[in-house]
Structure 1
Amino acid sequence: MGRTEDLITRLASEGAARQGTATPHFALPLLLATILCIGATALVLEDAFPTYHLRGWMPMVVKWGFSVSLLLLAALALHVLGRPGRPSGWAVASLLLPFAYAAFFVLPALLFGDLPFPGEQWERCLIAMGIMSPIGFGSAVMATRWLAPTDTSRAGLAAGFFGGAMAMTAYAPFCPGEGGLYFVSFYLVPILTMAGIGWLLGPRLLRW
């Protein structure tokens, strides 16, 4: 067994003892960044849930159902990836579940929807995603550095998903945009872009 395998085995055996101190340090940056972005968005923007009177809660069910589930699953994947010697493939694969959920609603809307595109205030949506996604990504990197990820590309990918999902979660209540094409263009594409950036930067930002 080589030095790398020895190190992974030792870290895995010590994981239970270090869990009590590592987990709070891991969770704190994620929690603070989420509170910061949600609070700042609520202070800056007005008229929450603008589509409620026209279409009820369904648009928010779709948006938050996707973003909140991706946010939680990305945090879980980061925590699992940060514990060396433990199976992590299932946690990374679970990141596909929110996309399957979204596809159930978005694909019919793409095929049969007649909502105007791009709609109102789409620029504000891109700006919000562009500002808050890096904040969420940075907090995820800080959190994960308290752990010991060995697959830094996958950890960077999960951090990127966390950042994008956090930005969407914070902004979605103030978004008047609707429709499948809007969802794909101004939410999915920015989130996937952030995840791709995380995949590329993970080996540099998370090496130890």
Structure 2
Amino acid sequence: MNTDDLISRLSQDVPPVSRRAVGWRLGIGMALGGLVSVALVALVLGIRPDLGLAMRGTAFWIKWSYTFSLAVAAVVMVVQLARPDSARLRWAWLLVVPVSLLAILGVAELARTPPGEWLAMWLGHSWMICPWLVLALAMPIFVGLLWSFRRLAPTRLRAAGAAAGLAAGAFAATVYCMHCPEVSAIFVLTWYSLGILLAASLGALLGPRLLRW
């Protein structure tokens, strides 16, 4: 049997796959992992007692918009890398937009703050644990994405792992906003982003091992 005949026989009676199949699969994985992360915040870390009051201010929504927009941009990359035809990533530049906007806000924040208070603003009260908590909360979401990838066909395994870690870290940081009282733009830009990058780095490290098919 030649190759063309083999391909022809293998392709017979193959049911059509919905265009939304990849998105649904990834969405289910992220939703399941996200529920675990939310439960960890609620039951282990605790939701900040003034969350309702904080949600009336702009600082909370700036922080939340930063992490959520990073998550959305990362998911766009994950969807592309879940397919075997992901030679060229489109829309990856979207990641630069929220980072640049928050950096501008951070510079403006520093400009109207006395220099003697810059260090306290940058470190806040939780800089030593913030990145690690974001990384820990990212793990259930990352596992959910790994489950999703088991039924997909990524070929750029390291890039796919990094994108999955980035998406998991950004969504975890969004969930972490329910607990963290820090509001400084420069704090969020540094320590939240570090936690997200740790998750992306771990994904890049594990991708070739765990996404092979």
TM-score for the superposition, normalised by structure 2: 0.75
Q: Which residue identity does 1:47 align to in structure 2?
A: R
Alignment of 1:90-105 (within 5 A): 90-105=90-105
Question: Is the 8 Å Cα contact of residues 110 and 180 (structure 1) preserved in structure 2?
Answer: no
- Residues of 2 paired with 1:36 and 1:105: CA distance? 32
Equivalenced residues, count: 198
Q: Which residue identity does 1:71 align to in structure 2?
A: A
Structure 1 residues 93-102 or 186-195, which shifts more? Answer: 93-102
Q: Deviations over 1:105-128 (max 9, x none)?
A: 223335554462423344553442
Deviation of 1:15 (Å): 11
Alignment of 1:25-174 (within 5 A): 25-44=25-44, 45-49=46-50, 52=53, 57-85=57-85, 88-110=88-110, 112-113=112-113, 114=117, 116-117=120-121, 118-174=123-179
Give the direction of change, closer, same or farther, for the CA distance of 1:48–1:75 in structure 2 (3 Å limit).
farther
Q: Deviations over 1:152-183 (max 9, x none)?
A: 22211211111211221111122122324422
Question: Is the 8 Å Cα contact of residues 92 and 154 (structure 1) preserved in structure 2?
Answer: no
Q: Which residue identity does 2:75 align to in structure 1?
A: A
| Unmatched segments (≥5 aa) in structure 2 | none
The residue matched to 1:148 in structure 2 has which SS? coil
Give the direction of change, closer, same or farther, for the CA distance of 1:95–1:141 in structure 2 (3 Å limit).
farther
Partner residue, 2:200:
195
Q: RMSD value over aligned CA atoms?
A: 3.3
Structure 1 residues 130-139 or 160-169, which shifts more? Answer: 130-139
Identical counterparts, % of pairs: 26
Question: Is the 8 Å Cα contact of residues 48 and 173 (structure 1) preserved in structure 2?
Answer: no
TM-score for the superposition, normalised by structure 1: 0.77
Q: Deviations over 1:31-61 (max 9, x none)?
A: 11112212331344143455946x9522212
Question: Is the 8 Å Cα contact of residues 149 and 211 (structure 2) preserved in structure 1?
Answer: yes
Deviation of 1:23 (Å): 4.2
Deviation of 1:204 (Å): 1.9
- Residues of 2 paired with 1:181 and 1:21: CA distance? 39
Higher helix share: 1
Structure 1 residues 182-191 or 59-68, which shifts more? Answer: 182-191
Give the direction of change, closer, same or farther, for the CA distance of 1:175–1:23 in structure 2 (3 Å limit).
closer
